[in-house]
Amino acid sequence: MHALSVAELSVALRERRVSSEELTRLFLSRIARLNGRLNALVTVDEERALASARAADRRLARREAGPLTGIPIAHKDLFCARGWRTTCGSRMLADFVAPYDAHIVERLEAAGTVHVGKANMDEFAMGSSNENSYFGPVRNPWDAARVPGGSSGGSAAAVAARLVPAATGSDTGGSIRQPAALTGICGIKPTYGAVSRYGMVAYASSLDQAGVFAHSAEDLALLLTAMAGFDPRDATSVERAPEDYGRALNAPIAGLRIGVPRQYLGDGVSPDVARAVRGALDTLTGLGARVVEVSLPNQRLAVPAYYVIAPAEASSNLSRFDGVRYGHRAEGAADLASLYRRSRSEGLGPEVQRRILIGTYVLSHGYYDAYYRQAQKVRRLVADDFARAFEQCDVIAGPTTPTVAFPIGRPGTDPVQMYLEDLFTIPVNLAGLPGVSIPCGAGEAGLPVGLQLIGRAWDEAKLLGVAHAYQQSTDWHRRAPPEEP
């Protein structure tokens, strides 16, 4: 039962072949057995989860259930959930218990999901490997010596290892799509503004977007339909009519133009990843799609621009964590200045400190025009590149990541090298576009490879339709990592 998709579990629940309580107990038992090795979840509340499952069973018995009623899920630990510890993977918030629910937590609970736990993450969502958590690194279920990707690596590892059938995540520069690719599951970052950021602890406000992990495009459509929608509490939430993101799942893709940027399969992409992606493109052309070459000439500028804009916004957003207003407070400080300094030095890890310092520097007098303003100009160039490319194609495709999952503590890796792991995902965030990663093959040591599909703004349904068509002809999304006894 644990190997079934959300859609398949939904049918089993409605047909009363299993109860939500039985299903929740099954996943809780897997968490108890496997999470110690993976470190994917940092908080689990069995009693609350089972109470929620029993409530779901009552809804199912009354035939008041929706497609997600009774489905166990986990939330990335930067989404506030009333009465749950919300740490952001940081010592700064290690004991913070949220007094309210994030918008997506509200929406998914209203849809009947069963919240079983909070997922480990890179501290304040800053990282590409999930090695930056105060609670220790998350391990990839395919090889525990390797990273699952970040910053939503705990959510991705939990879904890949079948600890839960689905989990929420956030994506600022690739933090859903990248770990989805490295763990062999599906993940979607919707159009900026499609899903409310209310109750999501901010990293970079103009880039952060909530999304979700699951095992299939069909699952992503079910979950995104429940999560998305206008929220007046979030100034970046776009007011649009409710949408069924599964409406194009069975649409034919014959005649669809798939753009492959010439920058996506050249230098910097490992041969095993390139081979798997080309195989996926061959499958899509076999289904009637047509591949066309497009160009994103400013792709190479996206990473440096991102690492000016995102840290600049982070330096502002994280200024509240000072030991007075929020978070960890150092003991024995002699004065207010030393209280600030010691609280932030003790409470924040090295990567978070590095990005705050970078952000403060690029916003400082004399450097704003030289760095921040220039980065915003590059952001426009990146968005314009996508606009021109979409004049020639309907969907853009390419690798999600340049390599398969790499070893934890990879020697000789400096921060800049790590930043390049998001080479193909960051431009999508800069442009505010939707992106999906789905498994498309195996690379080195049999590790998963991800195919990224990028669409025009608000084209999530089309992307999920293409992904679903691919998954009807392949079984990469059904592969599961080995389980140690």
Catalytic residues: 76, 151, 175
- What would the two tokens of residue 389 be? 């490319």
CB 217 within 8 A of CB 464: yes
Task: Characterize 27-45 residue by residue with b for buried, 16 or more Cβ atoms within 10 angstroms of its Cβ, and e for exposed.
Answer: bbebbeebbeebbbbbbbb
Supply the DSSP string of 171-224, one letter for each residue: ESSSTTHHHHHHHT-EEEEPPTTSS--TTBPPS-TTT-EEEEEESSHHHHHHHH
Query: And the tokens for 460?
Result: 């999530």
Q: Look up residue 351 and give its amino acid.
A: E
Say how far apart CA 465 and CA 138 lie, in whole Å: 31
In sequence order, what are the residues at sequence separation of 6 or more whose Cβ sits closer than 8 angstroms to the Cβ of residue 294? 259, 260, 261, 262, 389, 392, 393, 396
Q: Is the dihedral of CA 189, 193, 198, 200 positive or negative?
A: positive
Amino acid making up residue 312: A
What backbone torsions phi and psi does residue 230 show, to the nearest 5 degrees? Answer: -65, 140
Task: Give me the half-sphere count of Cα atoms (radius 13 Å) on the Cβ side of residue 357.
Answer: 10
Distance CA 196, CA 214 (A): 20
**Are the beta carbons of 304 and 422 closer than 8 angstroms?**
no
Amino acid identity of residue 404, one-letter, is: V
Structure tokens at 60: 């199912």
